Amino acid sequence: MRFIDNFLEAVSCLRMNKMRSILTMLGIIIGITAVIAIMTIGASMQGYLTETMSGFGINNVTVSLRAKNDEGPRFRVGTMFGIEDKDLISNDMLADLKDEYPDEIKAFSITETIGLGQTVSGEDYANLTLVGVNPEYMTANSVNIIAGRFILDGDMEAGRRLAVVSNKLVDNMFGDENPIGQELVIQTMNHIDIYTIVGIYEYDDGGFGALMGFTTASDYDITTDVYVPLTVAQKVNNSQGFVSFTILVETGVNSTDFARKVETFFTRYYNHNENFGVGAFSMESIVEEVTSMLNTIALAIAAIAAISLLVGGIGVMNIMLVSITERTREIGTRKAIGATNGEIRTQFIVEAVVICLIGGLIGIVAGSALGAAGAAYLGFPAQASVPSILISVGVACAIGIFFGYYPANKAAKLDPIDALRYE
């Protein structure tokens, strides 16, 4: 009997016993649905994570001053106190780093935080963080300028008190009025300074806070960054160096490997520093670690959900044994007219595979829909997990073959005379 004939006969048997077939498939459907839904949500989270991290420069390398512990080379987590000028990363160090790796380094993005502050005009106010930056900061952090311009090299050299503000600050302080060229009085803990607005950037709330579900009470109370020339920030802070900076690497450079090179490079400057050293990491390595963690969690949950597939497989074996008992005379008749043991075995294995495959396909559709709904509820763009769908189809077929083989083999070994006598 050809495969197509076996397939059609299997479908015919399922149609004659619809309720029994549906109940048999139920374990397969539930198992596949659970696995697909979990993997879809996991894939959606990973896709969103990667896209979000890309906005922070996934291939960039962040270098920062770290406090050493008593054992020397490792770093202690926590706030660093007692930093002196000799501990800071200097311009000369950056120049040496650029000379050491001219083909890997595109540019440096440097920041100097002045502190939290506020700008007030009558009853209007806006919370802010005053941050000194260099021109490369815009590229490294994907700052989207929607009006005016960003900080330029000339602003750095001249030490101009200019500011690039967010559209949220503009909404709070200026409404529909054009703020470009207007002065902004900013008060921080130790300073009150006046800055001229030269640009407006689009505030992006799709970063880490949005990813973790953090929200603010209202748009009016959110704290946004106000960017000023780096040299101005250094003058305000009386700073002679940097605590951290970001390296924009050239295309094709493995940022994770390059981060290790950077750490090794700075060892020459901080090897004899008892309190501080320099650590480097790439956003790409963080994405890889978080993705690996999410994969492990998703696989663990999916493995638990897949237990129902075992239950479903046992159900398939049980119903196939019942079916063989009901069709004993049919088997005897087929063997009497020349059907071989292999043909009988194939017939019932195909029937078991068809049951599992139909249940698997229903589970894939239901799981994909449930996964998409779950991802949407959590706020992630739904992304189908294609590998899990393909694996699910294979697993469904494997279950049909594995749990269908024993009943099929039992049917193949029936004696035709005894089978014909069966009532």
Task: Identify whether residues 130 and 279 lie together within a single domain.
Answer: yes
Chain mean position to CA 359: 30
Give residue 74's pLDDT: 47
Among 23, 61, 72, 421, residue whose Cα is nearest residue 246 = 61
pLDDT digits (tens, 9 = 90+) for 14-34: 777 778 778 888 888 888 888
**With 60 as the cut, is the pLDDT of residue 161 above it?**
yes
| Tokens 């919370």 sit on residue | 127
Task: Identify whether residues 135 and 273 lie together within a single domain.
Answer: yes
Task: Identify whether residues 81 and 219 lie together within a single domain.
Answer: yes
pLDDT digits (tens, 9 = 90+) for 382-407: 877 777 788 878 888 888 888 888 88
Give residue 29's pLDDT: 86
Task: Identify whether residues 189 and 242 lie together within a single domain.
Answer: yes
What's the CA gap between 209 and 202, in Å, rounded? 16
Task: Identify whether residues 162 and 92 lie together within a single domain.
Answer: yes
Give residue 183's pLDDT: 92
What's the CA gap between 198 and 178, in Å, rounded? 11
Choose the final residue of a domain: 283, 315, 332. 283
Range of the domain at 304: 3-53+290-421
Task: Identify whether residues 188 and 300 lie together within a single domain.
Answer: no
What's the CA gap between 81 and 311, in Å, rounded? 60
Task: Identify whether residues 156 and 244 lie together within a single domain.
Answer: yes
Task: Identify whether residues 239 and 96 lie together within a single domain.
Answer: yes
Query: Could you say which DSSP state residue 334 is in?
Result: H
Task: Identify whether residues 111 and 231 lie together within a single domain.
Answer: yes
Q: Which residue has the higher pLDDT, 320 or 152?
A: 152
Task: Identify whether residues 315 and 234 lie together within a single domain.
Answer: no
Give residue 212's pLDDT: 46
Query: Could you say which DSSP state residue 275 is in?
Result: S
Choose the final residue of a domain: 260, 283, 306. 283
Task: Identify whether residues 308 and 162 lie together within a single domain.
Answer: no
Q: pTM (2 decimals)? A: 0.61
Domain count, the chain: 2
| C-alpha angle 220-225-229 in degrees, rounded to nearest 5 | 145
Choose the final residue of a domain: 236, 267, 283. 283
Count CB neighbours of 183 within 10 A: 12
The mean pLDDT of the chain is 82
Give residue 198's pLDDT band: very low, low, confident or very high (50, 70, 90).
very high
Task: Identify whether residues 27 and 95 lie together within a single domain.
Answer: no
The residue type found at 400 is G
Q: Cβ-count burial of 147 within 10 angstroms (0-12 exposed, 13-18 middle, 19+ buried)?
A: middle
Q: Provide the residue count of the chain.
A: 423
